[in-house]
Amino acid sequence: MADKPFNIVEYIPELIVDQVSGGWGPTVATTYSSIFLSGSPDGFYYQSQIDLAGWTKEGLTAFFSNQYIQRDGPYSPGVAPVVASDVLQARDYIIVTDVPLQVTSTMIQAGFPSDASDYMTIKFAQCEIFVQSTTTPVMMIKADSFRMGSGQPTAAGTLYVTRICVPFKVTGAPTDSITFPGLRYIAQGIATAESELVHINRLRRSYELQQ
């Protein structure tokens, strides 16, 4: 059976949030849902699925050579007075798994002991943190970036994409607003056949973790 190169593309919509009484809320109706993250302020999450059933039916395993995120614009704050010790922050997590990621207060630690998820099922995961510039308040600049995924191959029939947006400011004001830009998840690699025993064990492990 011939190897099949792949180029997976999944779009993740933008989210604009404003300060509302006691927390944050979306500016307009959105496909994002609210979540309270332990030790963090209110967050919002979006989930979608990528169908790989065609490969599963052919008994193929997907091996990733490259996974990355593109975005369609900047992280933007609402124009508001800035105090250097209390700026707007945008924390943006992307997690791609081959079993459904459970929506819990610890999901931003997916793959680590504080969360119930299994590290091997996390094919890609990253967080980027942007903070409002104190010299140019209409801009946000990257303060930190890190990855948490295993990059392991998958024989599952579905990839599950989760985005978690966490706006933060110690002292909120009604003028506070943050735009989390639209994103594009891209995965490249080869779908190929493994030995029957390895493939069966990979499928069995995926099935057990979904129960």
The pLDDT value recorded for residue 132 is 94
- Domain that residue 15 falls in: 4-210
- Domains held by the chain: number: 1
The pLDDT value recorded for residue 174 is 79
Determine how β-strand 4-12 pairs with β-strand 183-193.
antiparallel
The pLDDT value recorded for residue 170 is 82
The pLDDT value recorded for residue 156 is 87
- pTM of the shown model: 0.90
The pLDDT value recorded for residue 195 is 67
List the chain residues with pLDDT less than 50. Answer: none
- DSSP string computed for 153-203: -B--SEEEEEEEEEEE-SS--TT-EEEE--EEEEEEEEEEE--HHHHHHHH
pLDDT digits (tens, 9 = 90+) for 82-103: 788 889 999 999 999 999 998 8
The pLDDT value recorded for residue 59 is 81
The pLDDT value recorded for residue 177 is 92
